[in-house]
Amino acid sequence: MPDQLIYFADPMCSWCWGFSPVVDQIQESYGEDLPVLLVLGGLQPGNTKPLTEKAKESIKEHWGHVYERSAQPFDQTFFDRDGFIYDTEPPSRAIIAMHSLAQDGSLTALKSVHKAFYAENKDVTSSDVLADIAEELGHDRSAFLAAFDAEEIHKATQRGFEFSRSINVTGFPTLLAGDNENGYRAITQGYQGWEDIRPAIDAYLADPKGS
């Protein structure tokens, strides 16, 4: 396995939405020389409890911090929702399903789900909304819904969550660089702007083994 970046993210992680332009810049600057492998780590998969007013205030504060650092847009009408359940499993599974339909499409799907949730206040826990996003990306709606409900996609989604936990990735975004032979080292654990990410990647490429 050649050198690559492993990007641990979640489609309902506001800091990952803030990091989205940085990922675009990574792909533009390093391209095929350092491909990005997306792992959906599971922020709150399987959550069943509706958001409380206290939780909404905490999320609103986080959104404010992300906007200050990244200037990414947020639709504040999200906080008018009643009884919203912050379950990050369905949108994660949707991205896995879209990747199964187009093998190079996971990062594009993540960006589209992020935008729908944060900038457009769409309910990305809804299969209908997720199917709309899949269609916008050129996927057949029926094929997407079949993949979304398939047992192997459920299992693949859970494997991503389990892998993240197994290597103690608990915060998003996390970006690791390396290969299977020499191992991986952290480029960032948490949000960093391009001005910090680029020199960290360049330092890795200059000395991949950390000698």
The answer to whether residue 89 is domain-embedded is yes
Q: Which parts of the chain have pLDDT scores under 50?
A: 1
Angstrom distance (rounded) from CA 207 to CA 211:
7
Total-model pTM: 0.95
Residue-range definition of the domain harbouring residue 144: 4-206
Which residue in the block uniquely carries the two structure tokens 């390396």? 178
Angstrom distance (rounded) from CA 171 to CA 28:
25
φ, ψ (nearest 5 deg) of residue 136: -60, -30
φ, ψ (nearest 5 deg) of residue 193: -75, 170
Can you give the pLDDT at residue 211? 63
pLDDT digits (tens, 9 = 90+) for 162-177: 999 999 998 999 999 9
The answer to whether residue 153 is domain-embedded is yes
Percent of the chain at pLDDT above 90? 90
The answer to whether residue 211 is domain-embedded is no
pLDDT digits (tens, 9 = 90+) for 6-17: 999 999 999 999
CB neighbourhood size of 96 (10 A): 25
The answer to whether residue 141 is domain-embedded is yes
φ, ψ (nearest 5 deg) of residue 126: -90, 130
Number of domains in the chain: 1
Cα dist. 27→22, 80, 84, 172 in Å? 9, 36, 34, 19
The answer to whether residue 142 is domain-embedded is yes
Task: Write the CATH number for 22.
Answer: 3.40.30.10
Cα dist. 188→19, 26, 38, 84, 169 in Å? 11, 13, 15, 31, 11
**Which amino acid appears at position 197 of this protein?**
I
Paired strand residues for 189: 174
The answer to whether residue 165 is domain-embedded is yes
Which residue in the block uniquely carries the two structure tokens 């660089």? 177
The answer to whether residue 162 is domain-embedded is yes
Instruction: Specify whether the CB–CB gap between 138 and 131 falls below 8 A.
Output: no
